[in-house]
Chains A and B, each alone.
Chain A
Amino acid sequence: MEIAVNRYEQGNFFLAIEPRRCKGCGVCVQSCPQGVLALNGEGKVEAKEIARCVFCGICEQRCPDFAISVYKERIIQPSLV
């Protein structure tokens, strides 16, 4: 079964939202400093204005259900011991 992932792109960065995981709590909507995210009619999160997104990653860190991921072109890979 293919898992639906909504991808919102801006340049080399993108925001991946997995609506299946979202419980619609709205923590990310309240946390977003740029007002990018909003809940849609189904109570799932959507990136309404991706042009304003600064890809800070605060929504990813605060999402209790792991529904949002922020991807950057250059992911820093720390050397794990």
Chain B
Amino acid sequence: MPNTKELARHEEVQKRFTGAHALCAGCGIPVCVRTILNVIEEPVVAINATGCLEVATTRYPTTAWNIPWIHVAFENAAAVASGVETAYRVLRRRGRIPKEIRFVAFGGDGGTYDIGLQALSGALERGHRFLYVCYDNEAYMNTGNQRSGATPFAAQTSTAPVGEKSFGKPQRRKDLTEIVAAHHVPYVAQASISDWYDLAVKARKAVSVDGPAFLNVLSTCPRGWGHPTDQSIKIARLGVETCYWPLYEVSEGRWCLNYIPEEKLPITEWLRPQRRFAHLFESGHEALLAQIQRQVDEDWEKLVRRCEDLPPSPFPGGAMEEVWR
């Protein structure tokens, strides 16, 4: 069995998703997609909800995908994935398909947090064996930065503008990873594009479980978030270091933190490089900054307590351990 690093470098899996797509410079989505597709050993079928990834990788007459790929509407990527998986299961039982095939559905945060949530919930509850990957760039970036359920509190978007009487999005973001974990599916994890190995190992675990799996990956957007393109990975890293985006997994109902920062950075480190939070650093918004810090601290403490209360993950050492050796 090859280990994760060897697999990611293998020629056959490296050609699944290729370059020459039209995603913006510095986009985090291709980093996420190539990492996940590179570490799956079996043949893969990709299902893609509408979003940045679908629009930019399949401009007629070109495509960036070298694997079977299905585009569906915003709301039903998970429903189509369950249909494809059921058809595969039937054909396999009849002996028409000799090989094991894995199904990976990709959706943005708009297509997962908001529009596709009920299809996703249904597919998870029915227990189809597929991996759903949500690349979370925290707004509808494809159509011009409109707010979504994943947009964080006080972020500026085109439909939650900053002005005299408003300070950006007034609501908090929803915690989709916890919502999915509440479906009692075998594997749910939260990852970030900044931690390559963590994401790669989580993707391998997710396709190895018999049942639905879900990955929520923080993916930066230089155009929407307003940061220099070369800072993409660093900003995702700051999200992890400030505990805004904790890396954890829920495997068979057991919660496990995969990364605990040595020194928890203040949330301003994550907010300051991004233009969508620039208004928070003007005078008169100190209370908002304190409120964001309080929310992050509360969420982190809740998560730490949750991971301590329950027995540790069946995978010793969390996701950083190679379990296939």
A1 contacts the other chain (CB 8 A):
no
Query: B18 contacts A80, CB within 8 Å?
Result: no
Question: Which residues of the partner chain A approach B19 to less than 8 Å between Cβ atoms?
Answer: 18, 21, 63, 65-67
Query: B6 contacts A81, CB within 8 Å?
Result: no
Contact A27-B233, Cβ < 8 Å, known A64-B26, A65-B30, A66-B18: yes
B 3-47 contacts with A by CB, 8 A? 3, 6-10, 12-13, 18-21, 23-31, 34-35, 41-42
The interface centre, meaning the residue of B6, B8, B9, B10 with most chain A CB atoms within 10 A of its CB, is: B9
Query: A64 contacts B31, CB within 8 Å?
Result: yes
Chain A binding site: helix, strand, loop or mixed by DSSP?
loop
Query: A78 contacts B35, CB within 8 Å?
Result: no
Set B9, B34, B229: member contacting A76, Cβ < 8 A = B9
A75–B21 alpha-carbon span in the complex (Å):
27
Residue of A nearest to B3 (CB): A78
Minimal beta-carbon separation of A68 from chain B (angstroms): 10
Residue of B nearest to A66 (CB): B19
Contact A29-B28, Cβ < 8 Å, known A77-B10, A80-B10, A80-B12: no
A29–B34 alpha-carbon span in the complex (Å):
19
Query: B26 contacts A26, CB within 8 Å?
Result: yes
A48 contacts the other chain (CB 8 A):
no
Question: Which residues of the partner chain B approach A23 to less than 8 Å between Cβ atoms?
Answer: 24-26
Query: A30 contacts B234, CB within 8 Å?
Result: yes
B231 contacts the other chain (CB 8 A):
yes
Residues of B whose CB lies within 8 Å of any CB of A are 1-3, 6-10, 12-13, 18-21, 23-31, 34-35, 41-42, 196, 222, 228-234
Residues of A whose CB lies within 8 Å of any CB of B are 18, 21, 23-27, 29-31, 57-58, 61-67, 75-81
Give me 16 other A-B pairs in contact (C-beta within 8 A), A21-B20, A24-B25 excluded. Answer: A25-B230, A26-B228, A27-B26, A27-B233, A30-B234, A57-B9, A61-B31, A61-B196, A62-B31, A64-B29, A65-B25, A65-B30, A66-B19, A76-B2, A80-B10, A80-B13
